[in-house]
């Protein structure tokens, strides 16, 4: 490939192409090669990790079940005025009979009932009961269906039931997200749930509050240790570093089980306290299955993540600054507070964000030592996936948690840079 010479005096590469173009091509090849090396992993992560998370986010708004199970009813309901205060007319009931008969044969009407039960308790039994009856009806001759349905269950005359079906007819719903912030999609738009049904905002609040307490206790405990490690001679600090790194490498479950054993009422700490005489034998401290247990265990588990970034920042602080401050007349405290501490703030910031991000999504430790008062939002997500089977709500709770974490991740990237994460 030989390009024509366009301008006289242009610098040419050995093969006759203009140097500028030849360099640009070399750069392009280089970029392409780098991307080719990254591509396999990127695809791998996309398929095994990013797509699953995207799937979860999709499930948090997905709501095809109503329009798929009751296609004719949904269309017929469009002309019904939800504010009329009356149940819809015969046309809608006929459509419902037709839809429900098909659904009952495929045995999917109970699924729909379960789905609508999340929004309006009582719908599950309504659908189960009606499905059984509808199967016996003859669609051609058994009309009018309105009375028949009301005979099966009076709830069918209740406009609220129909409002729920109409509200959740669209294929995409914000219902799960509203649910996760203790609101619901009523007939007249968004409304706050009654006091007795509000749990999630409290739970989010508790998760944030406890993560904050854990982060703060990690700062308080981590700062002196990091300072000591950064200021001791290399040999000693390397040795002491093992005491920080060993917990970091030890299985999470080992550490959690250790705390479970230590904090029990018949456990080692209570035994020692009784032996010293600080606590009466019949009055042992309750330190487990509550918030205190979660905070103690998680502070211990996350402390290395605070110490390591602090240490690497403090290592780079010149001791000469402190000496200079003191020689200029600063007291020890002023020298520390005005000279040393400001320089160590980036380490505190990096460690805090890391610990906070890790704490907010914790599941195992709160599940094992948290009891009922020390659980996090993650425990609720797991509950909805494996026990209550309300996957949409689990996905919405997860979506909110993910958003919070990503905000902090972004901040971490801006402040520290992901490239600067160090392990050990």
Residues 254-293 that bind other proteins (CB under 8 A): 254-262, 264, 266-268, 271
Q: Which stretch binds other proteins (CB under 8 A): 36-44, 101-109, 132-140, 188-196?
A: 36-44
Query: At its nearest, how many Å lie between other proteins and the CB of residue 38?
Result: 4
Provide the token pair at 295. Answer: 């905070």
Query: At its nearest, how many Å lie between other proteins and the CB of residue 400?
Result: 10
The pattern of x and - marking residues 230 through 259 that bind other proteins according to CB under 8 A reads: -xxx------x-xxxxxx-xxxxxxxxxxx
Instruction: Check whether the bond before 182 is cis (ω within 30° of 0).
Output: no
Q: Of 345-374, which residues contact other proteins (CB under 8 A)?
A: 357, 360-364, 367-368
| CB closer to other proteins out of 60 and 69 | 60
The one among 34, 139, 190, 407 contacting other proteins by CB under 8 A: 34
The one among 37, 276, 278, 387 contacting other proteins by CB under 8 A: 37
Query: Is 65 near other proteins (CB under 8 A)?
Result: no
Spatial contact of 393 and 176, defined as CB atoms under 8 Å apart:
yes
Query: At its nearest, how many Å lie between other proteins and the CB of residue 161?
Result: 30
| CB closer to other proteins out of 138 and 387 | 387
Query: At its nearest, how many Å lie between other proteins and the CB of residue 261?
Result: 5
Q: Of 166-185, which residues contact other proteins (CB under 8 A)?
A: none
H or E stretch at 185: strand 183-186
Query: At its nearest, how many Å lie between other proteins and the CB of residue 129?
Result: 30
Provide the token pair at 119. Answer: 């929004």
| CB closer to other proteins out of 164 and 217 | 217
DSSP 420: G
Spatial contact of 100 and 83, defined as CB atoms under 8 Å apart:
no
User: 3-state SS of 106-132?
Assistant: HCCHHHHHHHHHCCCCCHHHHHHHHHH
Interface with other proteins: number of residues (CB under 8 A): 91
| CB closer to other proteins out of 152 and 402 | 402
Distance CA 154, CA 96 (A): 15
Query: At its nearest, how many Å lie between other proteins and the CB of residue 256?
Result: 7
Query: At its nearest, how many Å lie between other proteins and the CB of residue 145?
Result: 37
Residue whose C-alpha is closest to residue 226's, from 317, 314, 300, 299: 314
Q: How many other CB atoms are there within 10 angstroms of residue 377's CB atom?
A: 25
| CB closer to other proteins out of 53 and 345 | 53
Spatial contact of 336 and 231, defined as CB atoms under 8 Å apart:
no
The pattern of x and - marking residues 324 through 343 that bind other proteins according to CB under 8 A reads: --------x-----------
Q: Which residues pair with 172 in a beta bridge?
A: 62
The one among 3, 19, 24, 35 contacting other proteins by CB under 8 A: 35
| CB closer to other proteins out of 77 and 401 | 401
Residue whose C-alpha is closest to residue 322's, from 342, 350, 299, 351: 342
The one among 3, 23, 24, 42 contacting other proteins by CB under 8 A: 42
Distance CA 154, CA 240 (A): 73
Q: Which stretch binds other proteins (CB under 8 A): 47-55, 106-114, 143-151, 187-195?
A: 47-55
Contacts of 253 (CB under 8 A, 6+ apart): 364
Q: Of 384-403, which residues contact other proteins (CB under 8 A)?
A: 385-386, 391, 394-395, 398, 401-402
Provide the token pair at 290. Answer: 């509550």
Distance CA 412, CA 416 (A): 6
User: Could you please report the per-residue DSSP string of 47-108?
Assistant: IIIIHHHHHHHHHTTB--HHHHHSHHHHHHHTTS-GGGSS---HHHHHHHHHHHHHHHHHT-
Provide the token pair at 409. Answer: 């991740």
| CB closer to other proteins out of 245 and 285 | 245
Q: Is 366 exposed, middle or buried (0-12, 13-18, 19+ CB in 10 A)?
A: buried
| CB closer to other proteins out of 196 and 266 | 266
């Amino acid at each position: 490939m030989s390009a024509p010479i366009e301008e006289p005096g242009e610098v040419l590469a050995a093969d006759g192409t203009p140097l500028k173009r030849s360099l640009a091509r070399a750069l392009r090849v280089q970029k392409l090669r780098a991307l080719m090396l990254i591509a396999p992993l990127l695809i791998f992560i996309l398929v095994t990790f990013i797509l699953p998370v995207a799937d979860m986010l999709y499930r948090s708004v997905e709501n095809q079940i109503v329009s798929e199970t009751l296609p004719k009813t949904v269309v017929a309901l469009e002309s019904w005025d939800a504010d009329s205060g009356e149940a819809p007319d015969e046309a809608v009931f006929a459509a419902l009979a037709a839809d429900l008969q098909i659904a009952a044969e495929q045995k999917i009407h109970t699924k729909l009932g379960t789905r609508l039960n999340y929004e309006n308790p009582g719908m599950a039994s309504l659908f189960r009961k009606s499905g059984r009856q509808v199967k016996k009806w003859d669609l051609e001759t058994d009309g009018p269906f309105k009375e028949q349905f009301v005979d099966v269950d009076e709830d069918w005359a209740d406009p609220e039931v129909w409002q729920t079906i109409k509200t959740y007819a669209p294929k995409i719903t914000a219902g799960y997200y509203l649910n996760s912030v203790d609101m619901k999609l009523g007939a007249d738009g968004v409304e706050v749930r009654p006091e007795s049904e509000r749990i999630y905002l409290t739970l989010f609040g508790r998760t944030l509050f406890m993560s904050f307490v854990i982060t703060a206790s990690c700062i308080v405990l981590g700062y002196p240790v990091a300072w000591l490690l950064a200021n001791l001679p290399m040999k000693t600090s390397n040795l002491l570093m093992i005491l920080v790194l060993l917990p970091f490498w030890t299985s999470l479950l080992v550490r959690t089980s250790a705390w479970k054993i230590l904090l029990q009422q018949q456990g080692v700490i209570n035994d020692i306290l009784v032996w010293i005489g600080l606590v009466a034998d019949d009055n042992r401290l309750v330190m487990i299955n509550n918030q205190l247990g979660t905070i103690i265990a998680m502070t211990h588990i996350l402390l290395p993540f605070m110490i390591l970034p602090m240490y690497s920042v403090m290592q780079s602080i010149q001791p000469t600054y402190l000496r200079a401050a003191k020689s200029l007349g600063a007291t020890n405290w002023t020298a520390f507070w005005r000279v040393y501490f400001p320089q160590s703030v980036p380490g505190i910031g990096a460690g805090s964000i890391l610990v906070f991000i890790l704490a907010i999504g914790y599941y195992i430790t709160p599940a094992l030592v948290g009891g009922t008062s020390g659980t996090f939002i993650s425990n609720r997500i797991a509950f909805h996936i494996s026990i209550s089977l309300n996957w949409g709500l689990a996905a919405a709770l997860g979506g909110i948690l993910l958003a919070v974490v990503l905000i902090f991740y972004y901040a971490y990237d801006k402040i520290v840079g992901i490239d600067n994460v160090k392990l050990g």
